[in-house]
């Protein structure tokens, strides 16, 4: 899948992700790019911290796609919700989402958003981490149920979409790269693409 743009490029740009949220975010840069599933096992390793997991998966996704497209500039990214050092994955269903939001109620969760940009042909590779600290309100059971039925964020780490109605569940967001919470830190992405030789403007 490719998105058209008037911005010239010397190398193809590939997003190693099937996430619709990352695709929509990258499209904001108005660069032509294609989508490539990375086919990476996202299971955490024993004793792996959420930060380590996010970094490893972002790098693995980029490397898997770069191996298939060695001349392209490839973006890999991953996000893991971190509750006191415990990784929280995508809930997948309503019951799991209820349990996650109950646990996060009144607490601070760090969303570890990792990013890797690489080009196998040139040997370019950079890794970044964009942690986002999110403080959840004290949530009532009825609020959790109403929110989940309205938005059904079962494919989101942390069971809430901050770019949608999920913002009403929060007290505060602390981040130096605002789109990191949605799944792709665009400030860091732009900086890394420039370093890889790709003109954003």
Beta bridge partners of residue 13, listed in sequence order: 73
Alpha carbons 59 and 51: distance in angstroms, whole number: 12
* CATH for 38: 3.90.950.10
Number of domains in the chain: 1
User: Is residue 88, in this structure, part of any structural domain at all?
Assistant: yes
Place of tokens 């969760």: 109
pLDDT at 7: 39
DSSP E strand stretches across 13-90: 13-15, 33-35, 73-83, 86-88
- 78 as an active site residue: the answer is yes
pLDDT at 9: 57
Q: Per-residue confidence at 157, pLDDT binned at 50, 70, 90?
A: confident
- How many alpha carbons fall within 13 Å on the CB side of residue 49? 10
Tell me the pTM.
Answer: 0.90
pLDDT at 13: 98
pLDDT at 54: 97
Q: Per-residue pLDDT tens for 12-48?
A: 999 999 999 999 999 999 999 999 999 999 999 999 9
Q: Per-residue confidence at 110, pLDDT binned at 50, 70, 90?
A: very high
Q: Per-residue pLDDT tens for 183-198?
A: 999 999 999 999 999 9
User: Is residue 201, in this structure, part of any structural domain at all?
Assistant: no
User: Is residue 90, in this structure, part of any structural domain at all?
Assistant: yes
| Residue of 78, 155, 176, 177 marked active site | 78
User: Is residue 200, in this structure, part of any structural domain at all?
Assistant: no
Alpha carbons 114 and 185: distance in angstroms, whole number: 8
User: Is residue 21, in this structure, part of any structural domain at all?
Assistant: yes
Alpha carbons 141 and 147: distance in angstroms, whole number: 10
Q: Domain residues for 65?
A: 2-195
């Amino acid at each position: 899948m490719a998105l058209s743009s008037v911005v010239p490029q010397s190398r193809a740009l590939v997003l190693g992700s099937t996430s619709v949220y990352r695709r929509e975010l990258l499209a904001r840069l108005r660069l032509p790019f294609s989508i490539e599933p990375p086919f990476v096992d996202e299971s955490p390793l024993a004793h792996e911290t959420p930060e380590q997991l996010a970094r490893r998966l972002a790098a693995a996704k980029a490397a898997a796609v770069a191996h298939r497209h060695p001349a392209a500039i490839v973006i890999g990214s991953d996000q893991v919700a971190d509750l006191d050092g415990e990784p929280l994955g995508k809930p997948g269903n309503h019951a799991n989402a209820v349990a996650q939001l109950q646990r996060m109620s009144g607490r601070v969760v760090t969303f570890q958003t990792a990013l890797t940009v690489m080009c196998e042909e040139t040997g370019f590779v950079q890794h970044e981490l964009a942690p986002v600290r999110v403080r959840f309100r004290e949530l009532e059971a009825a609020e959790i149920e109403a929110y989940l039925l309205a938005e059904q964020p079962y494919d989101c780490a942390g069971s809430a979409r901050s770019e949608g109605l999920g913002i009403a569940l929060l007290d505060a967001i602390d981040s130096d790269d605002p789109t990191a919470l949605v799944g792709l830190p665009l400030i860091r992405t732009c900086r890394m693409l420039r370093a890889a030789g790709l003109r954003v403007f």
